[in-house]
């Protein structure tokens, strides 16, 4: 896979597919992590005299112009972080985009409007998607894929445009792929995986694939109640996927057969309602009251999970342990995040010689996990890597071919 170092970009229009899908509240960006992660590639291209045309999506407007999903606030924040003006096109590949790109000088940056305002971006019809890709490619001389959070999508800007222009991977994608290879090839052991989030079905492929690779798998979040139910325990009104019970039982059987340690919570924070001010209490994981729902792993589970991360040499975490947005149910996620930090600082557990600073290789797998790290105030530098693409990371770990990466290969 070529990188931007392999491209002659001076004076040329470079279309950069970034991932700027940031959360907005009343037009205000609440987490600019993805914008900051996109900066190094954009800055590197600017420094070499490229005319940088950034394209990205925001939300799911489904091919309709949706004013509240405009990338205008993102353009303003990108300009602040770059310390330079960012020209903003009022459309994606129309008259405004053409005029905006034509007005760029060497080292200049423009941002196109939300890609998903165009039906062709996400169309499953190859001809419709290809027609939009033709228009988008017509704005540039070169293409750089740097939106890792979208590489698992067969979208025009991710999959079709690279076929129409000389192309390379940006620094962010190169870094993400390098990290994922460390999680799948020649993994340093012990290898611990922490999975949370709401649904078992979102993680089925990952669990299936990692059963042959990980040494221990820790399960929390809403998905844990399907595991507890599969073991015959009462889960009350907790989130439950009845149709996955047999699959989960099979995973538990396979884990025992292959020697992979499955770690489940021993206690749960169970509440009377899905609300921060609801009555709640810590109960044993095998004795959740029938009239309550679990919203976090309990304190003893937090200690258990941290102990199972101690001494690990590789740790991958995807999915919060509870409803971390509500303080009463944030403690489990906080405990896991701290467990990753402690394992990264701990030189024990491996057989490879290392310095006292050389602890576990810790990866936060994007999505809600990355949002939790920032929301709960952890130092991002305390983790080896925080991914910008939760879904893309999971699909890579499932062993799937990602269209956006396939398109960048020569």
β-strand partners of 385: 363
- Whether 263 contacts 306, CB under 8 Å: no
Among residues 366, 367, 389, 404, the one annotated as catalytic is 367
| Residue 327: Cβ within 10 Å count | 11
Among residues 197, 302, 390, 391, the one annotated as catalytic is 391
Q: Residue 135 catalytic?
A: no
Instruction: Using the CB atoms, write b or e for 333-349: b if 16+ within 10 Å.
Output: bbbbbbbbbbbbebeeb
C-alpha triplet 141, 147, 153: angle, nearest 5°: 100
Give the Cα separation of 348 and 346 in Å (integer): 5
Among residues 13, 34, 48, 77, the one annotated as catalytic is 34
For 65-100, give the secondary structure using H, E and C: CCHHHCCHHHHHHHHHHHCCCEEECCCCCCHHHHHH
Report the half-sphere exposure of 212 (CA within 13 A, side-chain side): 8
Among residues 199, 249, 254, 374, the one annotated as catalytic is 199
Q: Which of 330, 323, 326 is nearest to 198 (CA)?
A: 323
Q: Residue 34 catalytic?
A: yes
Give the distance from CA 137 to its chain's centroid.
27
Task: Kindly write down the DSSP assignment for every residue of 250-272, as one continuous string.
Answer: HHHHHHHHHTPEEE--SEEEEES
Report the half-sphere exposure of 250 (CA within 13 A, side-chain side): 8
Give the distance from CA 345 to its chain's centroid.
23
Q: Residue 197 catalytic?
A: no
Residue 287, helix vs strand vs coil: coil
Q: Residue 367 catalytic?
A: yes
Give the Cα separation of 257 and 325 in Å (integer): 37
DSSP code for 352? S
φ and ψ at 317, to 5 degrees? -130, 125
Q: Which residue has the tokens 């690779």?
A: 213
- Whether 20 contacts 388, CB under 8 Å: no
| Residue 282: Cβ within 10 Å count | 15
Residues with a catalytic annotation lie at 34, 199, 367, 391
């Amino acid at each position: 896979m070529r990188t931007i170092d392999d491209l002659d970009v001076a004076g040329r229009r470079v279309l950069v597919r970034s991932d700027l899908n940031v959360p907005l509240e009343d037009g205000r960006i609440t987490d600019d992590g993805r914008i900051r992660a996109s900066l190094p590639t954009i800055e590197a291209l600017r420094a070499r005299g490229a005319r940088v045309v950034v394209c990205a999506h925001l939300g799911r407007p489904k091919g309709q112009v949706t004013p509240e999903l405009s990338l205008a606030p993102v353009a303003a924040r990108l300009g602040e972080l770059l310390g330079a003006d960012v020209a903003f096109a009022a459309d994606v590949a129309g008259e405004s985009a053409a005029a905006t790109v034509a007005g760029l000088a060497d080292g200049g940056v423009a941002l196109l409007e939300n890609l998903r305002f165009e039906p062709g971006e996400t169309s499953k019809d190859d001809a419709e998607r290809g027609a939009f890709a033709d228009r988008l490619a017509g704005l540039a001389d070169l293409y750089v894929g740097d939106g890792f959070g979208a590489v698992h999508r067969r979208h025009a800007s991710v999959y079709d445009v690279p076929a129409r222009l000389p192309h390379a991977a940006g620094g962010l994608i190169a870094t993400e792929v390098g990290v994922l290879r460390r999680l799948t090839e020649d993994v340093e052991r012990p290898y611990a995986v922490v999975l949370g989030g709401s649904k078992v079905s979102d993680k089925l492929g990952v669990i299936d694939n990692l059963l042959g690779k990980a040494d221990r798998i820790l399960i929390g979040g809403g998905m844990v109640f399907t595991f507890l139910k599969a073991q015959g325990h009462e889960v009350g009104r907790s989130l439950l996927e009845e149709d996955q019970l047999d699959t989960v039982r099979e995973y538990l059987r396979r884990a025992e057969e292959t020697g992979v340690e499955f770690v489940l919570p021993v206690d749960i924070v169970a509440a009377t309602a899905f609300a921060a001010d609801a009555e709640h209490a810590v109960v044993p994981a095998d004795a959740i009251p029938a009239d309550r729902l679990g919203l976090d792993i309990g304190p003893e589970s937090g200690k258990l999970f941290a102990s199972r991360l101690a001494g690990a040499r590789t740790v991958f975490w995807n999915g919060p342990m509870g409803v971390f947005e509500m303080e009463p149910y944030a403690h489990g996620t906080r405990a896991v995040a701290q467990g990753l930090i402690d394992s990264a600082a701990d030189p024990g557990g491996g057989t490879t010689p290392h310095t006292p600073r050389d602890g576990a290789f810790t990866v936060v797998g994007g999505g809600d996990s990355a949002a939790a790290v920032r929301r709960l105030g952890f130092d991002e530098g305390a983790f080896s890597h925080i991914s910008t693409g939760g879904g893309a990371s999971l699909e890579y770990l499932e062993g799937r071919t990602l269209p956006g990466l396939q398109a960048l290969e020569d």
